[in-house]
Amino acid sequence: MRSEAASTPPPVPPSVPGVLTADDVVATARSIVAQQEPSGAIPWFTPTGGVAGHVDAWNHVEAAMALTVAGLHEPARRAYTWLASVQRPDGSWPAKWVLGEVTEPGGESNQAAYVAVGTWHELEMTGDEEFAKAMWPTVRRAIEYTLELQTRRGEILWIRHENGVAADEALLTGCSSIYQSLRCAVALGERLGEPRPEWELAADQLGHVVAAHPEAFADKSRWSMDWYYPVLGGPVRGPDARARLADGWDTFVVPGLGCRCVSDQPWVTAAESCELVMALDAAGERDRALKLFTEIQHLRHEDGSYWTGWQFANQRHFPGDRSTYTAAAVILAADVLADASPGARLFKEIAGRRLGPSAPADPDACGCALAPVRR
């Protein structure tokens, strides 16, 4: 298959006027590379205060995506190469590694699926179909693993434990992310001449359950991610998205500081804030997104990295690390706000198809009569 990498102009790092320059974004990306392990793995943080940060597949992929946005292609490709090399035969990855050793062997569904988002993003950003073709078996196995955990109703159980037993709960945040992953996997298969219509049906059912069946998910409502992820991942759009974000705004957003990680703690985090920025933009709330992105810059370190969070009751950074996933979220949010790269609309549309509500593929499975969905 032809590679288009040579004919695709390299992306220019994004800038957000008055907030971050392109050089600022590159400095943030270099703070990720500085913590990348020789293998290519990207941990949450290098050992800090005697504590080593762990690696998980989801945040690793997010960091690789950010490196590509900033134009740091070699470390991004090393990240993807490492991830493919450590995939298990069943298509999953361990939930955690620390310093190269597996510490939590269970395979989480959203972590497996996210490689599809990263691979599609890399293809969009570089045009390199040879890379996408090489990653396709990894993506295919990961999606097959994920869908083995889908219930008949449509939600996807969050983990298969080391003993082979699946959890009995699904998580709203994880399933919202998996919805985007499935859409990317479908687009990737079509681009490579490997269509998977059954994946599209699975995505339709999952997206419907995320948007319409809160009873399908474990109650994690104190976490801000459960508030905004149904918008960020794509199942909720239009008036429903704006209403959802408005309903939780006063609970989770601290004016001038950012978004709380959890509702009951005086703690704002840059990663959640930047994910909320992208969700706001996807919902058409660009001015509010830009304001929040500007406010979170108080967590920027002079070297371009970002403190993970700020405990505003005690007036100190908490925890005391500058995490790679936080830097990655900042870069991806900057790219969304700049809206200039081929991957900048990843949270709005995939392969020209807008993300949004889905009619259930099997309305009997979720107890719904097939009805038009609001778009």
> Is the CA virtual torsion 3, 91, 275, 156 positive or negative?
positive
Residue numbers of the chain with a pLDDT score lower than 70 = 1-8, 369-375
CATH topology for 5-360 is: Glycosyltransferase (1.50.10)
Half-sphere exposure of 284 (CA within 13 A, CB side): 10
Please state, in angstroms and rounded to a whole number, the distance separating the CA atoms of residues 279 and 256: 18
- Give the pLDDT score at 11: 76
113 close to 146: Cβ distance less than 8 angstroms: yes
- What is the structure's pLDDT at 49? 83
d(CA 34, CA 330): 16
**pLDDT at position 72:** 98
Q: What is the pLDDT of residue 8?
A: 63
Residues facing residue 262 across a β-bridge: 223
Under 8 Å between Cβ of 143 and 182: yes
Q: Which of 285, 268, 375, 299 is nearest to 336 (CA)?
A: 285
Block residue for tokens 């293809």 = 123
Q: Give the model confidence (pLDDT) of 8-49 as tens digits.
A: 677 799 999 999 999 999 999 999 999 999 999 999 999 888
Q: Is 337 exposed, middle or buried (0-12, 13-18, 19+ CB in 10 A)?
A: buried
3-state DSSP assignment of residue 14: coil
Which of 215-219's residues contact partners 24+ apart within 8 Å by CB, and which partners? Answer: 216/153, 216/154, 216/155, 216/170, 217/155, 217/169, 217/170, 217/171, 217/172, 217/175, 218/169, 218/170, 218/171, 218/172
Q: What is the pLDDT of residue 187?
A: 99
Is pTM beyond 0.85? Reply is yes
- Please say whether the beta carbons of 115 and 135 come within 8 A: yes
How is the chain split among helix, strand and coil, in percent rounded to 5? 50, 10, 40
Question: Which residues have C-beta within 8 Å of that of residue 97, sequence separation ≥ 6?
Answer: 41, 54, 55, 56, 103
pLDDT of residue 1: 34
